[in-house]
Chains A and B, each alone.
Chain A
C-alpha cells in the first residue's frame, strides 16, 4: 500500500527555522517525483515545488523560489520542506503528494502538516 506519512503539527515563532518531513512507503521511492502543496487557512491549494528523489532534481514555483528548500533522503525514503526564517504568513497546512504513475497528477497525498507561526 502506497503511503505518505507527514510529520506532526508545529508551532514556531517568526524568524525560527523549520524542516517538515514526508515519508514514503509501499512503492519505489526514487521512481516518483514528490511535490509540496500549501493551503493557507480557508484558502485554496498552491503548488510550491517538486523533487525527484532519484537524482534530487528540484523545481520550484516562481512564487516559492528562494522562500523554501525542498530535499529528499533516499536512504530513509523521506522528502523534506524547510524554511530558514519563518514568517507569520507561512502559517498553513502543507501537503506532500506523489506525482502519478500514468501522468504528472498527484495520485497519493500525505495527511498534511499544520505549521503555525506566531509570536
Chain B
C-alpha cells in the first residue's frame, strides 16, 4: 500500500505571502496526484489533479508541481479564504486505489 506523507503538519503564513506545502509518496505514483482543500464543516474541494492541472474554477494562485514521489502545492499570495486544511491524494487508475496524506493545516500567522 502506498503511504502519502505531508509536511509540515501545520504551516503559519501571513496573508499575501506564499505558502508551499509538500507531499511525498512511498513509491512512484507518476503524476496521479491530487490536492484538496477542506474548510471546517465543509466537504473537501478538489484543487489540483494530475499533479499540476487546476480543477474547474480554481484560482491561478494555486499551483501544483512534481512527479514520481515528490509533490508541491504552492499558493502564491494567500487570501483569507485560503486558510484551511490541505490534503494530497494518490490515485491509481486501474485497479482504482486511493490514499490520502494526513493533511497540512494552513493557519494565519
Q: Is the CB of A109 within 8 A of B87?
A: no
A23 smallest CB distance to B (angstroms): 15
Q: Which A residue's beta carbon lies closest to that of B44?
A: A109
Q: Is the CB of A45 within 8 A of B96?
A: no
Whether, in the assembled complex, B92 has its beta carbon less than 8 Å from a beta carbon of chain A, the answer is yes
Q: Which A residue's beta carbon lies closest to that of B6?
A: A44
Interface size for A (C-beta < 8 A) is 25
A99 smallest CB distance to B (angstroms): 7
Stretch at the interface among A8-16, A82-90, A100-108: A100-108
A1 smallest CB distance to B (angstroms): 12
What residues on A are CB-neighbors of B55 within 8 Å?
105, 107
Q: Is the CB of B50 within 8 A of A45?
A: no
Q: Is the CB of B87 within 8 A of A100?
A: no
A43 smallest CB distance to B (angstroms): 9
Candidates A44, A102, A109; contact of B53 at CB < 8 Å: A102
What residues on B are CB-neighbors of A61 within 8 Å?
97-98
Q: Is the CB of B43 within 8 A of A104?
A: no
What residues on A are CB-neighbors of B34 within 8 Å?
103, 105-106
Candidates A44, A62, A102; contact of B87 at CB < 8 Å: A44
B25 smallest CB distance to A (angstroms): 14
Candidates A37, A104, A110, A111; contact of B91 at CB < 8 Å: A104
What residues on B are CB-neighbors of A106 within 8 Å?
34, 36, 44, 46, 89
Candidates A45, A62, A100; contact of B100 at CB < 8 Å: A45
Enumerate chain B interface residues (CB-CB to A < 8 A).
1, 32, 34, 36, 38, 43-46, 49-50, 53, 55-56, 85, 87, 89, 91-93, 95-103
Instruction: Please name the 3 residue pairs, one residue from A and one from B, whose CB atoms are nearest each other, closest first.
Output: A104-B91, A105-B34, A105-B49
